[in-house]
Amino acid sequence: MSELSRGISQLAEALDGAQRVAALTGAGVSAESGVPTFRGDKGLWKGFEPQQLATPGAFSRDPAMVWEWYDWRRGLIAACEPNPGHRALARLEAELADFWLITQNVDRLHQKGGSQRVLEVHGDIWTLRCFEECGYQVLEERTGIPELQRCPDCGAPLRPGVVWFGEGLPEETLHQAGLAAATCQVFLVIGTSSVVYPAAGLADLAASRGAQVFEINPDPASRIRGVTVLQGPSGEVLPEVVAALEARRKGPRT
């Protein structure tokens, strides 16, 4: 039995016996849908420093340029469909009594793939809101809007509803994600380079409370002691994990 198949059956067994399960996903989960990752060779940040684009300072300095970069990304994402990894996570939510999906992704492909309970700790690219925080926000799913949009209530520029570097994460969402990580028995780290905090700290929190941590990534990055790595693309590994869990539940109780 290969290392990977051993990992898959270990994870299926752990999921089968857990009361609460939490998963943290990153850009790698959307890679097989065609959404470029942030730090891969064709990374979204290519040629740009994240601090150049994904910060409030960058937006106040040059809102049109930052807006254009997000509009380009929205166009990219709009052409992408959920992949088998997204769908497997939606099946996991249906199969498990208490499953929390925490995502750093802003593309909403988890929801498009059927997940209902998604904690978007870095916001989402389809919500626009007033840069001056006057309270205006709108769901804007049209793409190809190259020119900077203005707030209809106060005239300030509209910004994407994502969390930029140096900005706090949405409090209630982060609180729920922290609670899930602190009280789960199994924590999955899927498709993330685990470099961006506080999201990356959720796996440490889960491990510190005794959860079993599993990482699914072709290029594993987690530094959690005792992490079990399932080395492979999430679009292939996750469906096998869910199939193994479902087989355990259909077959005679072991």
Q: What is the 3-state secondary structure (H, E, C) of 157-212?
A: EEEEEECCCCCCCCHHHHHHHHHHHHHCCEEEEECCCCCCCCCCHHHHHHHHCCCE
Amino acid identity of residue 2, one-letter, is S
Answer whether 75's CB lies under 8 Å from 143's CB: yes
C-beta of 12 vs 230, nearer to ligand BV8:
230
Q: Applying CB under 5 A, does 151 fall inside the site for Zn ion?
A: yes
- Report d(CA 239, CA 180) in Å as an integer: 23
- Report d(CA 216, CA 26) in Å as an integer: 11
Which stretch in 1-9, 13-21, 214-222, 244-252 sits in contact with ligand BV8 by CB under 6 A?
Answer: 214-222
Question: Is 122 an active-site residue?
Answer: yes
Binding mask 52-91 for ligand BV8 (x = CB under 6 A): --x-------------------------------------
H-helix or E-strand spanning residue 58: helix 56-61
Among 195, 209, 223, 247, binds ligand BV8 (CB under 6 A): 195
Among 136, 183, 228, 232, binds Zn ion (CB under 5 A): 136
Binding residues (CB under 6 A) for ligand BV8: these are 26-28, 31-32, 37-40, 43, 54, 104-106, 122, 162-168, 191-193, 195-197, 217-219, 221, 233-235
